[in-house]
Amino acid sequence: MNTTKAVLPVNLLNFDRKGLSAFFVNMGEKPFRATQLLKWIYQGNITDFDQMTNLSKSLRSYLNTHCTITAPEILLEQIASDGTTKWVLEMGLGNRIESVFIPEEKRGTLCVSSQIGCALACTFCSTAQQGFNRNLSVAEIIGQLYVAQKRLGDSKRITNVVMMGMGEPLLNFDNVVAAMNLMMDDFTFGLSKRKVTVSTSGIVPAMNRLNEACDVSMAVSLHAANDELRDQLVPINQKYPLKELMATCKEYANQGPRKHITFEYVMLKDINDSMQDANELLKLLKEVPAKINLIPFNPFPNSDYVCSSKQTISRFKDILYNGGIITTIRKTRGDDIDAACGQLVGKVKDKSRRHLKLQQMGLANAI
């Protein structure tokens, strides 16, 4: 019986420029072939190797035989009344993820997923209730930007990317960094490092690694100003408590010309929205260059939480602002198509038994 396994073609979207250069060098080609290929794919929207006319015929033949350029497939597109667009993308084996484009007057922001589901079990987030299946590959991450820009065309440009979709980006560290490097590469999308933001729930060791690996903006999902409450809302806080997280944030902000770290704070009625909470937040962030983004809670089925009133949110903002911290209230976008913050769910076949194993997951081993 023949037990030889079929060799799958190499998906070239899985490489940033450094990785693609190494790929070509290992083939006996010059490293500059990577730049040529990136320009064809990302700037020329060419995926047919035979049309890449500055590559030799022998190289094109090899690529046709051994390689592919395959991005995720869009299964569903929904456009909200405010112009926000959500795409449901097929990830295979019954799994799906979601990406969201938010148009504004002077910019267009794409919210990108990094995992199928999420293992961190934040109690106010619909995505976190779906369980966890696996990390996304580089191709599946950068592919979200690739297919979104192709779908939007020249009329709507993506100027900003936030790694705030499904999943915890820093638990998929290597693939997320490679994808963000591609986003900022001059031969692909050429995004400014200030316009690519990675959002984390506070994976401290990975935040320290990111300082050395990739210069991007940082957002931290905070949501509470003391350990007792944050342990409940963001369970990873039990592993990396606030004192450790704040020290890491301060160090990250002080590296290079960064001005601040954005702290995300979801507003939950009678949970974390008191004036005492606001003053406690001021005290927590007094030594960290910070900007606070207050997020009105977006409801989802079977949630026990309620959004704080507009008056409470406004009063909360005033305390922070008067305390010297730049504070904004996030405008809810795309909530009529479940595309608002915390509402992305996709379709996830949970493989983590998350609720049983969260304390035993050994998350540090994943980074």
pLDDT in tens, 280-336: 999 999 999 999 999 999 887 778 899 999 999 999 999 999 999 999 998 875 555
Annotated active-site residue 341? The verdict is yes
Residue with tokens 């999420």: 118
Which amino acid, one-letter code, is at 283? K
Contact 324, 286 (CB under 8 A): no
pLDDT band, residue 348 (cuts 50/70/90): very low
Q: Give pLDDT, residue 131.
A: 80
User: How remote is the C-alpha of 259 from its chain's centroid?
Assistant: 21
pLDDT tops 60 at residue 340: no
Annotated active-site residue 98? The verdict is yes
Contact 307, 273 (CB under 8 A): no
Q: Give pLDDT, residue 353.
A: 53
Please name the helix (run of DSSP H) or strand (run of DSSP E) that holds residue 233, with its range, or none: helix 227-233
pLDDT tops 70 at residue 232: yes
Catalytic residue, from 98, 140, 168, 264: name it: 98
Residue 128 CA to residue 364 CA, distance in Å, equals 19
Residue 278 CA to residue 306 CA, distance in Å, equals 18
Domains of the chain (ranges; CATH) run: 10-68 (1.10.150.530), 73-359 (3.20.20.70)
Residue 171 CA to residue 177 CA, distance in Å, equals 11
pLDDT tops 70 at residue 364: no
pLDDT band, residue 6 (cuts 50/70/90): low
Q: Give pLDDT, residue 356.
A: 42
- 89 - beta bridge partners? 74, 97
pLDDT band, residue 367 (cuts 50/70/90): very low
pLDDT in tens, 86-96: 999 998 888 88
Kindly report the average pLDDT of the chain as a whole number.
Answer: 88
pLDDT in tens, 141-177: 999 999 999 999 888 899 999 999 999 999 999 999 9
Residue with more model confidence, 355 or 268 = 268
Residue 277 CA to residue 281 CA, distance in Å, equals 6
Catalytic residue, from 118, 125, 307, 341: name it: 341
Q: Give pLDDT, residue 105.
A: 87
Q: Give pLDDT, residue 304.
A: 85
pLDDT tops 60 at residue 350: no
- C-alpha closest to that of 358 among 238, 219, 222, 244: 238
pLDDT band, residue 257 (cuts 50/70/90): low
pLDDT band, residue 265 (cuts 50/70/90): very high
Q: Give pLDDT, residue 335.
A: 59
Residue with more model confidence, 38 or 98 = 38
